[in-house]
Amino acid sequence: MNQKIKALVFDAYGTLFDVHSVVSLLEELFPGRGQEVSRVWRTKQLEYTWLFSLMGRYEDFWQVTARGLAFACRALHLDCSSAQQADLMNAYLRLEAFPEVATVLAALKAYPLAILSNGSPRMLVGVVESTGLTGTFAQVLSVEAVKIYKPSPRVYALASQRLDLEPDAIGFVSANSWDIQGAGAFGFRTVWLNRTDQPGDELGFPPDITVRQLTDLVQLLRP
């Protein structure tokens, strides 16, 4: 696979950046409920991206994330003030990178590296800067440019266009099985980062490679 790959494109949320690193703040605000709130928040955040896309509507990921948070608090019967909501939303600008991310990206720097994400440009700039990864990526690409969410082929086409590469020359890395399926359907070479040994989605486009940790990429994709 590595002999055909000319660039590596990474999903952001759940792949490079830990969306559940907000749990510590959630625990401060809602003791004993942090994990639960984070889980519902993330689930509804993703559901809303798919629903907006199917409805032919678009709101940026910041607003979608805020809607997901509002739903989670309402569904779990938690009072969340405007100030608390603002603190939680701002935490998304400072999500933690998974521990191995900086080392792995440095080891793969012979490839052009890119992010392709549902995140809005402001959100992606914030999290890249806060994790010390400024300058690591040749491109940081947001669905904002096409105003539809993954797994629309228009999103994956954005990476192919901006990197000026055919789809099968791009290695796409994501921890989200549905994202891998969408990227595979578009024609990317796909690497599923399956950290917790989950079953893959049954959509007909299985990953080319499955790894349990990002560090496995270094040997598999070393140029």
Indicate whether 3 pLDDT > 70. no
Is residue 103 within 8 Å of residue 215, measured between CB atoms? yes
Q: Is the pLDDT of residue 81 over 80?
A: yes
Res. 221 pLDDT band, cuts 50 70 90: confident
Residue with tokens 């891998």: 180
For residue range 143-164, list pLDDT tens digits in order. Answer: 999 999 999 999 999 999 999 9
The verdict on residue 2 lying in a domain is no
Q: How do residues 23-60 score in pLDDT, each as one tens digit? A: 999 999 999 999 999 999 999 999 999 999 999 999 99
Domain that holds residue 62: 19-93
Q: Is 11 labeled as catalytic in the residue annotation?
A: yes
Residues 64, 123 within the same domain = no
User: Do 66 and 104 have their domain in common?
Assistant: no
Runs of H (alpha helix) within the chain: 23-29, 34-54, 61-75, 82-91, 101-107, 121-130, 153-163, 177-186, 216-220
Residues 212, 109 share a domain = yes
In a domain, 211, yes or no: yes
Determine, yes or no, domain membership for 162.
yes
Q: Does residue 110 share a domain with residue 52? A: no
At residue 189, does pLDDT exceed 80? yes
Q: How far apart are CA 152 and CA 82, in angstroms?
A: 33
pLDDT of residue 1: 62
Write down which residue in 68, 93, 118 finishes a domain. 93
What pLDDT does residue 4 have? 86
Which residue, chain included where needed, has tokens 């994202």? 179
- Same domain for 180 and 160, yes or no, is yes
Domain count, the chain: 2
Nearest to 112 by CA among 152, 169, 158, 154: 169
